Structure 1
Amino acid sequence: MAGGRNTASAVGWGPVTVSFAGYNRAWASWIASRLEKHGQQVVLQRWDITPDSSVEQGLRDLLLSEGRVLIVLSEWYFRLGPRSRQEWNSALREVVPPNSDRFAAVSVTSAALPTASAALGAADLWGLGAAEAERRLLARLGITPARSAAGTDTQGAGGGPRFPLEPPAVWGGVPRRNTRFTGREELIADLHQQLQLAEPGAAVATLHGLSGVGKTHIAAEYVYRFAPEYDVVWWVRAAERGTLREKLAALAPALRLTTGREYGERLRAVHDALRRGDPYFRWLIVLDGADRPDEIHDLVPAGPGHVLITSQNREWGEYNSALLEVPVYDRVESVAFIRRRAPRIDEADADKLAEALGDLALALDQNAGSLNDSAMPVDEYIELLRHGADVESGLKVAADFQMTYYTAFSILLNRLREDKPEAVDLLRLCVFFAPGPIPVRLLRDLPIRDMPEQLAGLIEDPLLWNSAIGKLAQWSVIQSDPQEVGTEEPPGSTEIVQMHRLVYQAVRSDMPDDEENVYSRVVRKILAAADPGRPGDTRLWPRYAEIVPHLSASGALDSTNPEIQGMVLNCLRYLYLSGEYLTGLRVAEIAGEYWPRLLEPGHPRLWDLVHHRTNLLRATGEYTTTEGIDRAAYETLLADRGAGDLLTLRAAANLASDLRNLGRYAETLELSETVRDAYVELLGDRDPVTLMAQNNLALIYRLLGRFQDALDLDLDTMEIRRELLRDRNNWTLSSENSYAHDLRLLGRYDQALSVQERNSEVHRTVLGPDNPQTLRAEHNLAQCYHRAGDRTRAANVLARLLERCERVRGDFDPLTLRVALTLSNFERQHGDLDRARDLSERVIGRYRDRLGDRHPYTAGALGGHGLILRASGERQQSQIEIEDALDGMTRAVGPDHYWTLGCALNAAAARNLAGDPEGAAELSRVTGDRAASGLGKHHPLTLSCRIALAADLRNLRRRQEADKIEEEGLDALAATLGPQHPQTVAARSRTRPHWDFEPFSS
């Protein structure tokens, strides 16, 4: 047993240690006073568990004290940590029963507690009067009341702690408790600790934040939770100095102070009584809505008690108050609150509503209340909000705050307009950026000559600028956050300002139309000036990331200005290259609604928009859709501009990409060669556009199994890009990845790995770990590790890679499916067969949905699934799927294609297992001959076919022929891959070779 004496005599004379959660200090103090009255020695110990300790250890540590341990049970006691109920139940069962004579408990809550807490045999004190609670307390500890102590305690102003269930002696102005109060636990705990730990006379804390964020309700909840710790609770509306003086003076009669009728005299008496703590030492004064600290700070009481202030104005920090910022709800709290306010709204709709309202408590309350009283679908209501519909008249206001959040923001804006008009000018500029962070540098980069007069002075004068920013931050209208400054950034250039989305709405609705046009035009110019003009340069991507969020809010997407339309196209190019496909599609779709009305038919920028949109769609796997769009564009341009026009050639290249992804390789090859040759003639063989066409031609060579042709083209492209661009340019890196891929497919595994290890590392550095191009490079690296025989590294890369693809790209992105299929193949051979099957079935289902049964990817994935079934012992179904894969692949790409040869290798093994050794041997022989002809006699797939043929001949008892073929195959494998390569070792041990399908990057 840990600590203490486990004897009756030790228990009888020892002190009592009262263990309590911080929220229950009032109960602990009252219990201590009752026990001390009856002659018991008491030690108060606040219960706490450090993150690195366990509940069990915490309970055992309580036993290190002498005598008994009395635990004050409440929901707060079990929330500390926080720890699960399972951990609590386990710890209580482990520690309490063997030490039952050391532990006792009282319960001071009606909430459900962990079941194992019953072992403590708690006396229930909740809902009782003081006398009965004391009797139960003493009975639980086996203490006989001392006669001398009976009736000697008056409990109150001078007689010790008040019984916690009795209300404070003085209580005034406190609003009713909000029965729908949700969350804010950490904030309330911080507030409680701030006030409790403050030095006497310095316990002043201010809850500050945007109007409607919930400051008043948090203060009220604090009052009700901790009322037992105070003898006086006095709540005052503090918006005006005169009202505050009057309400504080009204405390005099409640404190039974002898004063005259003049409230100035009463106010002085109240301040003096609070300062001295007479007649009550424990007091709490709440100053609600105290937004003018400069006018009322001298009225804040001082003394041993606590002052809690709620305010929009953070300037209270200048008047010796601790500041606690009240943020908007986090999303979990928002959803919980909405569902309590409007039970008809389900969790998904609550999440949507919270997003639309920016998690602002007052807006959630009023809009959810309105929705709960109507049958309108939440989606329809949100659309009304987004389009600025007037919903204010239908909002449900509360009795204690009888104005809508629209009105609250209007009052705030009027106050700002009076105090600092230039701050409102700055707000009006900011609302034509999107809600969220606005880099201040963007505002300051626009030449002053392009600014309207009221903004030019603000931007040009640093003192005026800082004053406006400071005023907005002071009133919690914006947050101004200086970011970390790099060595290349001047001071102040990385400052960020942001405001709540509902403030945006309030400011915009307050603006005349002519001013809206002025400010929005300025923001569009700011964004255009910020465009670096090189979306393909990865070093400039952070600049584009600053611009993109603001395209819609600024009106850039429906602008007629050619410069701004060019900026939008550059942003679309950036979004495609950086992998932000869904964001790019949203931008392209909005621009696509406006531009056909703004530009004449056939305008080049309309074709540019089509080009970027189909690139983005294709990247998400929408190949059928893009094929229809690109074919129409190509045919139209061909008729209007001719085959040699650059726009026509670009449309042809896009159409070739669609056909390639749809598995129509012969058509793709013809069109890709035509495009490449035309670009060479028009632009030369070293132009970036020509090199892109050459890259695409190499890709179709790879897909057709013409690996040496692909290698030659990729090597040429890579060398030219290294010369024209730089080694770390993203296009150079892409060519290098393709080159390593070609080497791997040709069986030159060690050389491929040497190239790809460096390539992947540079990709991560230049493009970041989650860029699609980086993910493709790491997939190639995993395959290189696997083919080179390093299974451990392959497994580590693949597992991390799939998790990242699913997180960044989604479960059904083409790249995610490609990685999932590779991992399925790997798990089948070296890991978890069940996981391999799950991954394989997911990929097959998606390929069938998107690409159809006749696509080579579907056939290849089906063949891999057949291998999994064979490994699982389901031989009959396995053979069916493997044969179907061979038939499907033959139809899709022909009998001599690399993929078809791989499917045939697997089918030969299936036939052998099915009792058809003749059919197996014939298929192995034909497949080996075709592989030797197309890939070369020493390609790993060709050698696998030879080893398989030897096995088939051995089954036919043609051992001499089998041994000869096997010996030749083993010698060739050892020479090509090395004697210790896993494929060589497996062949030497006569493990039948197989082939794994791999979709190629396109």
Structure 2
Amino acid sequence: MTTDDATSRQHIEAAGQRSIAAGQIINAYTGDTLPAEALYAAERVTVPSGLSNLPPAGLCLGREEELTWLRRTLTRGGEGAITQGGTVHGLGGVGKSTLALHYAHRYRGDYKLIWWINASSPDSIEQSLTELTRRLVPDWAARAAREAQTAWAEQWLARHPGWLLIYDNVEDPADLSPYTGSLQGGHHLATSRRTRGWPDNAPMLPLGILDADDAADLLCALAFNGVTPTRRERAEAHSLAAELGYLPLALKQAGAYLAQNRGVTLDGYRRRLGTKLDKAADGIPAERTIARVWGITMDTLVQKDPLAVDALYTAAWLAPDNIAHGLLTSPGTDSDTLAEAIGTLAAYSMVTDTGTTISVHRLVQAVLRTPRDAEDQRCQQGRERAEQALLRALGSLHNQDATNADRWDALIPHLLALASKAPTGHLVDPLTEAYEAAAEHLYQSAHTARAIPLLEATVAQREKVLGDTHPRTLNCRNNLAVAYETAGDLKRAVPLYEATVAHREEVLGDTHPDTLASRNNLAGAYRAAGDLGRAIPLFEATLAQREEVLGDTHPDTLISRNNLAGAYRAAGDLGRAVPLYEATVIQCEEVLGDTHPHTLSSRNNLAGAYRAAGDLGRAVPLYEATVIQCEKVLGDTHPRTLNCRNNLASAYQEAGDLERAIPLHETTVIQCEEVLGDTHPDTLNCRNNLAGAYRAAGDLERAIPLFEATLAQREEVMGDTHPRTLTSRNNLAEAYQAAGDLERAIPLFEATLAQREEVMGDTHPHTLISRNNLAHVREAAEALQRPDAAESMTRTSHQHPSAHPEPPGYPGGQAG
């Protein structure tokens, strides 16, 4: 983006992917670059055997077979095994977390460390790891940034075997890849409602409802607290368990209610259930069951402890985990009174309490957010209390002071929950300002894509209050388009950019700086989509207008010059790209200084152009120098620093230095998976590059499956004829050829050539590469029919090495 937009949210406009300073959007702390004192501590810090952050274990009846499966799966390699893992999946309320917790407590003595991780999002995983760092090195952690704390925890786990990590409530299996793929010497156990998206070889345990006898046992154990039930009570327990669908969460809440109300029999409770209408009539059966159980409990709590009811309705609108006690009541509430209310909720198994925070089951939250009838105002009142509590908690956090980072990290999940679950038409202006502030914090932390719910809510508010073409509305739309593009969702980003350009032209005029900024952004999105036919002319026009309006050396003009050079490079026109990059570097050094972030990015881009031109003698030293400067000026974990490292790895690869290239590529893939997700275009780009490095090393057993997986994901995410999809198809065909599998290589080369001719034109460099590759693979196939087949095949392969036209770390319209 550019620094054009001075009216609102300049930070987003100034630092998106289209800026001269933009590189690959990555935000991870590389283990090799931690401060020396942190590395020293991670290697030498030890813990008392059995350290954990486990909550108390509740009852877990009827799961012995499942516990046996977990133990066998996690220890299947014996004591010498490393990094065994397993996943428990099933419907909400079926008892996945309870099973994992019971396993952890049963075998607690076999692990040096057990750490319970909230895995509902990448942010939550990172937060749980920072808590481990704070437990082990509290003094250092108090001074360290969140990224450093996360990295320290990973370093510690890498150096100390014998641990168990439990990832609870995994929403996206790809979120675990950075940890399960790199942390060895321990066990990984995940719970999730997701049945798809896991690695093909991942051990999976589907967890169903309890059988009838076990369900009745659980009810009796909870309701009678160890007292042996009579035969009649046992029969009533069977009937009630059947009514509750043998769902563990429902059984637990019903048992807790009966334990707190000894005068109610099991049969009486079952009859009360029959009078409760299924609240979420269109929901899943589990949700309808919980709605009925919840109705009975709520009727009692309304009479017994109204404050507990209010607190529960408030919690329903927040993130399900780590809800601070202070968010649950209005100012002036006595802390002891609140503690009693939370204790009541815990006694009825409506929440899990740690003493400072609570957690609420997602099914319970879903039920609580649904009005019981047309006159039920408690849902809306609960949301209003949640909103006001967050606004009070935010206080002065609208600034991005680094000292507030931990407080932001604690509150943003709740803001995201509010934004994503807002009732239709529900808009609160102060809350919108909080959404914008939270989106800014996520942007500053390189988590722009995760701000999408916040920005969508902000756009809706701005459109309703300010109108469709107000400058602040247009700013918000621009920022939402940035987030879509960062998430790789060009189908939503491009139309939104186009609409913003049209509105700014109409409202602000054709040459207003904000209009030019939007045009620059749109051109970048076209380039990211592989549409250079529209990207290049728009970049050229924007540069000309910026030169005229802002001057030849204005920072925004330099941005446009850089981006145009990048588009030329993407089109294979190095004759225009290299001189333009060189001129931009000189001007950045003169105008901005030798170590300005834009200057560093320009040097990185110039090195990439040299590399594309085959001039590694100039590319590699320039990359190395730029990496050093980025580490010094921007920090070890800044996206531009990581982008430069990734590009340096590719330069090493092209120079034949695979011993340095492959580890750097592998690290980059892990970081992209962690930050961007498993199918983000930039993740796929890095994965494609890693596969190319494996192939260059002759490791086709790792290269071919990775090329195949990347191609399938690019077809799904980007479409069948996107330039990067065609790159993957070409690279896979070449890998097949290198493996001697011409029956698969030739059709793939033919399809790629036809599509490149159609999409890119007959003379595009990539089309020429495909034509050349097809000619040589056909020559190789003909050679196989001759007596000297083996010799000819080897000679052909060496004479025509793999074409790898996609510059690593240089995706779409970003700076390379």
| TM class by smaller structure | 0.5 to 0.7
Report the counterpart of residue 863 of structure 1 in structure 2: 730
Note if contact 2:278-2:291 (Cα within 8 Å) is conserved in structure 1.
no
Distance across 2 between alignment mates of 1:85 and 1:539: 39
- In structure 1, the residue matched to 2:392 is 526
**Does the alignment pair 1:995 with 2:799?**
no
1:668 to partner: Cα distance: 1.2
**Larger Rg: 1 or 2?**
1
CA, structure 1 residues 586+713, in 2 after alignment: closer, same or farther (shift >3 Å)? farther
In structure 1, how many angstroms separate the alpha carbons of the residues matched to 2:544 and 2:642? 31
Q: How far apart are the structure 1 equivalents of 2:603 and 2:271?
A: 59
Distance 1:530 1:224, change over 3 A: same
How much has 1:639 moved relative to structure 2? Answer: 3.5
The CA distance in 2 between the partners of 1:529 and 1:552, in whole Å, is 19
3-state SS of 2:488 partner: coil
Cα gap change, 1:738 to 1:405, in 2 (>3 Å): same
Whether the 8 Å CA contact 1:413–1:424 is kept in 2: the answer is: yes
1:798 maps to which residue? Answer: 665
Matches within 5 A, 1:761-910: 767=637, 776-806=643-673, 808-848=675-715, 851=718, 854-875=721-742, 878-879=745-746, 881-882=748-749, 885=752, 888-889=755-756, 892-893=759-760, 898-900=765-767, 902-903=769-770, 906=773, 909-910=776-777
In the alignment, the residues of structure 1 paired with residue 561 and residue 509 of structure 2 have an alpha-carbon distance, to the nearest angstrom, of 22
Residues 644/360 of structure 1: CA separation in 2 closer, same or farther (3 Å cut)? farther
1:911, 1:718 → 2: CA distance?
A: 49
Question: Is 2:270 the counterpart of 1:405?
Answer: no
Please give the per-residue CA displacement for 1:21-77, whole angstroms capped at 9, x wherever unaligned: xxxxxxxxxxxxxxxxxxxxxxxxxxxxx99xxxxxxxxxxxxxxxxxxxxxx9899
Deviation at residue 223 of structure 1 after TM alignment: 12
Structure 2 match to 1:82: 71
RMSD: 6.2
Structure 2 unaligned residues grouped into runs of 5+: 1-48, 51-62, 79-93, 110-209, 230-239, 259-265, 784-791
- CA–CA distance in structure 2, aligned partners of residues 219 and 237 of structure 1: 14
1:631 aligns with 2:516: no
Distance 1:839-1:412 versus aligned 2 partners, 3 A rule: same
Q: Does 1:708 align with 2:578?
A: yes
2:415 counterpart of 1:550:
yes
Instruction: Provide Cα deviations, 1:317-354, integer angstroms capped at 9, x if missing partner.
Output: xxxxxxxxxxxxxxxxxxxx9999649xxxxxx9xx98
How far is the alpha carbon of 1:786 from its aligned partner? Answer: 1.2
Flag structure 1 segments of 5+ consecutive residues without an equivalent.
Answer: 1-49, 52-73, 90-178, 195-213, 226-234, 239-283, 288-336, 344-349, 386-390, 396-403, 444-453, 459-463, 483-494, 917-954, 956-985
Of the candidates 506, 521, 541, which is equivalent to residue 674 of structure 1?
A: 541
Whole-angstrom distance in 1 between the partners of 2:570 and 2:774: 21
What is the CA–CA distance in structure 2 between the aligned matches of 1:735 and 1:368, rounded to whole Å? 71
1:561-604 CA-to-partner distances (Å, cap 9, x unmatched) read 65543442343455456554664333444555555444423223
Quote the offset at 1:381 in angstroms.
1.0
Amino acid in the other structure paired with 2:805: F
3-state SS of 2:691 partner: helix
Q: 1:437: which partner in 2?
A: 322
Does structure 2 retain, via aligned residues, the 8 Å contact 1:695–1:713?
Answer: no
Residue pair 2:649, 2:662 contacting (<8 A) in 1 also: yes
**Shift of residue 791, structure 1, vs aligned partner:** 0.9
Aligned-residue offset at 1:672: 1.7
> Following the alignment from structure 2 to structure 1, what is the Cα–Cα distance between the partners of residues 277 and 297?
27
3-state SS, counterpart of residue 381 of structure 1: coil
Letter of the aligned partner of 1:569 in structure 2?
A: E
The alpha carbon displacement at 1:803 in A equals: 4.6
| Cα pair 1:740 1:753 within 8 Å, conserved | yes
Q: Give the counterpart letter for 2:525 in structure 1.
A: D
Secondary structure, counterpart of 1:812 in structure 2:
coil
Does the 8 Å CA contact 1:776/1:815 hold for their aligned counterparts? no
Partner of 2:283: 381
The answer for the alignment partner of 1:277 in structure 2 is none
One-letter code of the match for 1:711? Y
The percentage of counterpart residues that share the same residue type is: 20
Partner of 1:651: 518
Distance across 2 between alignment mates of 1:997 and 1:813:
20
Shift of 1:643: 0.8
Taking the TM superposition and a 5 Å limit, the aligned residue runs for 1:477-516 are: 502=364
Map 1:238-277 to 2 at 5 A.
none
Contact 2:449 2:486 in 1 (8 A): no
CA deviation vs aligned residue, 1:353-411 (integer Å, no higher than 9, x gap): 98xx99968699999999999999999315996xxxxx68973xxxxxxxx33433554
Give me the whole-angstrom Cα distance separating, in 2, the residues matched to 1:358 and 1:437.
24
Partner of 2:181: none
Q: Residue 260 of structure 1 corresponds to which residue in structure 2?
A: none
Distance 1:895 1:518, change over 3 A: closer
Residue number in structure 2 paired with 1:751: 621
Please state whether the residue corresponding to 1:601 is helix, strand or coil.
coil
- Provide, for residues 257-293 of structure 1, a one-character-per-residue CA deviation record: whole Å limited to 9, x for no partner: xxxxxxxxxxxxxxxxxxxxxxxxxxx8799xxxxxx
Question: Given the superposition, is the C-alpha separation of residues 406 and 821 from structure 1 closer, same or farther in structure 2, using an over 3 Å criterion?
Answer: same
CA distance in 1, matches of 2:108, 2:668: 44
Higher relative contact order, structure no. (Cα contacts within 8 Å, ≥ 6 residues apart): 2
The 8 Å contact of residues 391 and 434 in structure 2, kept in 1 or not, is answered as: no
The residue that corresponds to 2:452 in the other structure is 585
Please say if residues 862 and 885 of structure 1, whose CA atoms lie closer than 8 Å, have aligned partners that are also in contact.
yes
The whole-number CA distance in structure 2 between the counterparts of 1:572 and 1:666 is: 33
Aligned equivalents of 2:270 and 2:674: distance in 1? 32
Distance 2:298 2:485 in 1: 45
Q: One-letter code of the match for 2:71?
A: P
Q: Is the 8 A contact 2:608 2:647 kept in 1?
A: yes
Give the TM-score normalised by the residue count of structure 1.
Answer: 0.47
Kept after mapping to 2: 8 A contact 1:785/1:793? yes
Q: Name the CA distance, whole Å, in 2 between partners of 1:806 and 1:372.
A: 48
What's the CA shift string for 1:196-229, capped at 9, x where partnerless?
xxxxxxxxxxxxxxxxxx9xx999969999xxxx
Taking the aligned partners of 2:599 and 2:481, their CA distance within structure 1 comes to 24
Q: Which amino acid in the other structure matches residue 685 of structure 2?
A: R
Structure 1 CA distance, aligned partners of 2:568 and 2:428? 43
Aligned residue for 1:828, secondary structure, equals helix
1:703 deviation in Å?
1.2
Instruction: Confirm or deny that 1:697 pairs with 2:564.
Output: yes
Given that 2:317 and 2:383 are in contact with CA atoms closer than 8 Å, whether structure 1 keeps it comes out as no
Q: 1:435 to 1:517 in 2, by over 3 A?
A: closer
Contact 1:371–1:378 under 8 Å retained in 2: no
Instruction: Report the CA distance between 1:610 and its aligned residue.
Output: 2.3
Match of 2:130 in 1: none
Deviations 1:920-958 (A, max 9, x none): xxxxxxxxxxxxxxxxxxxxxxxxxxxxxxxxxxx9xxx
Q: How many residues align?
A: 589
Assess if the C-alpha contact under 8 Å between 2:301 and 2:309 holds in 1: no
Q: How does 1:53-452 map to 2 (within 5 A)?
A: 79=68, 82-83=71-72, 342=245, 380-381=282-283, 395=292, 404-409=293-298, 411-412=300-301, 414-416=303-305, 433-438=318-323
Match for 2:468 among 594, 597, 601?
601
User: Cα 1:424–1:841, aligned 2, differ >3 Å: closer, same or farther?
Assistant: closer
Are the counterparts in 2 of residues 431 and 507 from structure 1 also a CA contact under 8 Å? Answer: yes
SS at structure 2 position matched to 1:998:
coil
In structure 2, distance between residues paired with 1:680 and 1:544: 41
Q: Is the 8 A contact 1:627 1:658 kept in 2?
A: yes
Name the amino acid aligned to 2:612. L
Q: Residue 860 of structure 1 contacts residue 903 of structure 1 at CA under 8 Å; is this kept in 2?
A: no
